[in-house]
Amino acid sequence: MLKPVIEPSVNAEDFAGQASWAAPSNIAIVKYWGKHGVQLPRNPSVSMTLSKALTGTRLHWRPGTGRLVAFSASGEADAQFADRVAAYLSKMALEHPALARLDFGVETENAFPHSSGIASSASGFAALALGLASAVVAESQGAEASLPEDGPAFRSFAGRLARLGSGSASRSLCGPWMAWGQTEAFADNAEKPTDDHAVPLDHVHADFRTWRDAIAIVDAGKKAVSSSAGHRLMEGNPFAETRFANARQRTLALDRALREGDTDTFVQIAEAEALELHALMMSSKPSYILMRPGTLAVIQAVQEFRADTDLPLCFTLDAGPNVHLLYPASAAAQVEEFIHDAVRRYCDDGRVLMDAAGEGPTRLGPAKA
């Protein structure tokens, strides 16, 4: 089958409508790893929304048939990413009549390394889904046409669209803490966690709302095995059912820790989940390893620092080699001195991205139709 012709740049004058959003990445404490059905999670996950690890996306549209016709990433053509976005837009056009009547141009740019294990797919598809939701509001004759873009119904609708592009993208639609997947935890939350889309958590201790995340870029290169491939490999993993049970139990424990400001429990869960995630990769068939020697060096340095200072600094990992260092704002001075002195030496060009809990996406301009 011939691939559609996609222009490697976007000329705004060729399009009638436009919406621009910036969406953050998120870092999961309880991990999403393994899926079923149409991008549904095998276990619940809980994440902290970031504030600076952003993807900015400008979506353009014009009358058409649901195709991607122009695409650029950071001002450059990216054929592999363009193919993924094109497939996603075609799928969304099948589900939403308003999108089936449009063709799209996409301009997107990351504020952090792409495909290196910092959930660039989460921020990327969250920003794109928000643009699509704006397009539906602008172009639809149905119920979605009346959704206010600053309301929970619009966020839930965009969250469903985002989930279909990348499961973790649904967790980037709000902040500072989100839960996705059915669970007995968070029973008195205003919105009950569901497999359909992530929901913001209401009852989080004030201390956890200002936690920070320093992302040690051990390796800025593209990871060897994608998260999509890793999810598929969970189907034959001998420890899969144990993993899903562990995640459900840790979600319950994390619910209590976030409510009560229990940093000890939080640290234990964050690190256990990170190591279990990478153990699952190593026990897959075929097995693979995304950690690097620098990853292990940073982990060891963090554990030694915590033992020496009794400060609640902990690590977690996404599906990549880079290490997220999580700590409360009250410990920032000592932790950030430690990062400068003991962590940067293990990073690619000494690069550490300093981030913190954030409130979610930002609309960069009103939709234009």
Q: Say how far residue 346 (Cα) sits from the centre of its chain.
A: 24
pLDDT of residue 1: 36
Instruction: Give residue 2's pLDDT band: very low, low, confident or very high (50, 70, 90).
Output: very low
pLDDT of residue 246: 98
Of residues 9 and 42, the one with the higher pLDDT is 42
Q: Residues 237-242: what's their mean pLDDT?
A: 95
Instruction: Give residue 143's pLDDT band: very low, low, confident or very high (50, 70, 90).
Output: low
pLDDT one-digit tens code per residue, 88-102: 999 999 989 999 999
pLDDT of residue 58: 96
pLDDT one-digit tens code per residue, 332-358: 999 999 999 999 999 999 999 999 999
d(Cα 172, Cα 178) in Å, to the nearest integer?
8
The answer to whether 227 touches 200, Cβ cutoff 8 Å, is no
Per DSSP, the residues of 9-40 read: S--GGG-SEEEEEEEEEEEEEE----EETTTE
Per DSSP, the residues of 305-346 read: HHHHH----EEEE-SSS-EEEEE-GGGHHHHHHHIIIIIGGG
- What is the average pLDDT score of the chain? 92
CA angle 2, 229, 243 (to 5 degrees): 155
Domains and CATH numbers, the chain: 12-205 (3.30.230.10), 206-356 (3.30.70.890)
Query: Could you tell me the two tokens for 91?
Result: 């799928």
For the packed helices 263-282 and 240-260, what is the interaxial angle rounded to 10 degrees? 160
| Most confident stretch, 65-74, 113-122, 142-151, 255-264 | 255-264
The answer to whether 130 touches 21, Cβ cutoff 8 Å, is yes
Dihedral sign for Cα atoms in the order 181, 182, 187, 190: positive
* Cβ neighbours of residue 39 closer than 8 Å, sequence gap 6 or more: 163, 164, 167
pLDDT of residue 307: 98
